[in-house]
Amino acid sequence: MPPGHNDYNMKKQKPGEAGLLPFYCKKVGLAVMLLAFVPAAIVKILHVAIEPANKEFFRLLTMNAFILGLLLVALAKDRVEDETTMVIRRKAMAWAFVTAVLLVIIKPLVDLLMNERVADMKSQELVVSMLFAYLLMYYLQKKGRRVAANGQSD
């Protein structure tokens, strides 16, 4: 055995679960996403005046908390995690990447067609779109897998 090799750590992690967070992180992520918008809703409802510089900082914090929540949901294990689930995760990640690249290319063209000022996509918009694309593709593929497993496909 190589020096520093630890059989305990090797056996502790099941194949296909490398780098995933525990299942409860899905619930934590959903809570973080919802709580991210509570301060913004309170400010809006109570008509609290915020200076423009603070308003941008507040928006930045809200979006970063929302992104963190999405990331927790995306990286959390399912109740049942197997090799097929990991294949679905990889496919969903590939689609999310392709979607993000296409968005970056297409957004300026859409801006031109709509006679709007052409602007680059903000990093937060890009990350949110990638995480949404990943989660959408992941859950659609998982649903398709369940339908096929139940014999409801043609």
DSSP secondary structure, 135-147, as one string: HHHHHHHHHHHHH
The amino acid that residue 36 corresponds to is A
DSSP secondary structure, 55-113, as one string: HHHHHHHHHHHHHHHHHHHHHBPPSS--HHHHHHHHHHHHHHHHHHHHHHHHHHHHHHH
Q: What pTM value is reported for the model?
A: 0.77
Measured in whole angstroms, how far is the alpha carbon of residue 18 from the centre of its chain? Answer: 18
pLDDT value for 154: 46
pLDDT of residue 150 exceeding 80 = no
The amino acid that residue 81 corresponds to is E
The amino acid that residue 119 corresponds to is A
pLDDT in tens, 46-105: 888 888 888 888 889 999 999 999 999 999 999 888 888 999 999 999 999 999 999 999
